[in-house]
């Protein structure tokens, strides 16, 4: 058995005792990564007219990531760009779909009212 090199517990001649150091805080970028993922999914899904929710979640998470996580700034900005473009495309698709449903209904209603009045 080797005698302790110092009077510190756990130290030996081969392995001197080392003072524990605090762990470095991990730079989390989870909000920025999630914002980017939801923004890209929202952008891709907006071409199928269902990306509004994904794009909105991507924008919200990217804004939170931009504010809280300075290390993930570039991912948050990319998530914002994809999310806002996805929101724009989803809104345009929504207007087109709404118009394509309402215009025929309005035409049928006007035609029905003219025939009822005329005779």
pLDDT in tens, 80-103: 999 999 999 999 998 998 889 888
Q: Supply the pLDDT for residue 113.
A: 72
Helix, strand, coil tally for the chain in percent (to 5): 70, 0, 30
Q: Which two tokens stand for residue 116?
A: 């009822």
Is residue 67 scored above 90 in pLDDT? yes
Q: How confident is the model at residue 15 (pLDDT cuts 50, 70, 90)?
A: low
Break the chain into its structural domains and give their ranges.
30-118
pLDDT tens for 2-14 read 554 556 666 566 7
């Amino acid at each position: 058995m080797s005698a302790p090199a110092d009077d510190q517990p756990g130290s030996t001649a081969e392995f001197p005792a080392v003072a524990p150091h605090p762990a470095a805080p991990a730079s989390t970028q989870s909000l920025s990564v999630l914002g980017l993922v939801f923004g890209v999914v929202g952008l891709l899904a907006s071409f199928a007219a269902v990306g509004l929710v994904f794009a909105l979640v991507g924008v919200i998470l990217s804004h939170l990531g931009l504010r809280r996580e300075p290390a993930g700034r570039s991912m948050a900005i990319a998530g914002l760009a994809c999310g806002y473009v996805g929101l724009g495309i989803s809104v345009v698709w929504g207007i087109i779909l709404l118009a394509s449903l309402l215009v025929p209904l309005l035409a049928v209603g006007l035609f029905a009212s003219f025939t009822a009045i005329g005779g």
